[in-house]
Structure 1
Amino acid sequence: LEDTSNKTGQYICLSHRWMQPETQLTSTVMANYQDRAADLAINGLPRLYRAVFFVAAKLGVSYVWIDSLCIVQDDVEDWKRESVKMGDHYSQAYCTIAA
């Protein structure tokens, strides 16, 4: 994970179904946030997420925004702050992949 609030550049969004078991297992929560911020192990992510990172690299896009990774799921304040920005994330993305 990388804080991009002071950065510019293109990014890709992923819009995906949330009820998949791997989504729940790989979501960012307070307990794993520090580890994720230090080093997000892409190989440990679901195949769909890895595919989005692959597409981004092929397109020369530096960033990927996936709500279950980029919003701390069990942090009420983070959800309040970030959930209202979701429409902007999707509308301003280089592209959005729906899966």
Structure 2
Amino acid sequence: PRLHEAGSEIFECSALSHCWGTSPIVTTATAKLSDRRTAIPWDILSNTFNKAIIVTHELRMRYIWVGSLCILQDDIMDSE
């Protein structure tokens, strides 16, 4: 998996809504954005994220929205 910036492109996607809980989860911050555009290693994603990606593919959808990955967590403007 990797981040895809859509810009003004319109496309269909699934979305994962999940509880952040107390366990650390993978997020995207400005410093990691370039890396996330290239690849997000499967082994750093939680089982919930992995399963959501697999289900998205099984539904024949190319994209999934995961807020913790798609919203820059250190950018107030991006989170609004």
TM-score bracket, normalised by the shorter chain, equals 0.7 to 0.9
1:36 and 2:46 aligned = no
1:32-74 Cα offsets, whole Å, 9 max, x none, are: 1111012222332111001011001101011000000000001
Residue ranges of structure 1 left out of the alignment (5+ in a row): 81-99
TM-score by length of 1: 0.70
- Seq. identity, %: 28
After superposition, the CA RMSD in angstroms is 1.4
| 1:3-82 paired onto structure 2 within 5 Å | 3-23=5-25, 26-80=26-80
The alpha-carbon deviation at position 4 of structure 1 amounts to 1.4
Aligned residues: 78
- Determine if contact 1:22/1:46 at 8 Å carries over to the other structure: no
Residue ranges of structure 2 left out of the alignment (5+ in a row): none
CA distance in 2, matches of 1:20, 1:49: 16
More helix by share: 1
CA distance in 1, matches of 2:76, 2:34: 17
CA distance in 2, matches of 1:77, 1:8: 21
CA distance in 2, matches of 1:42, 1:9: 24
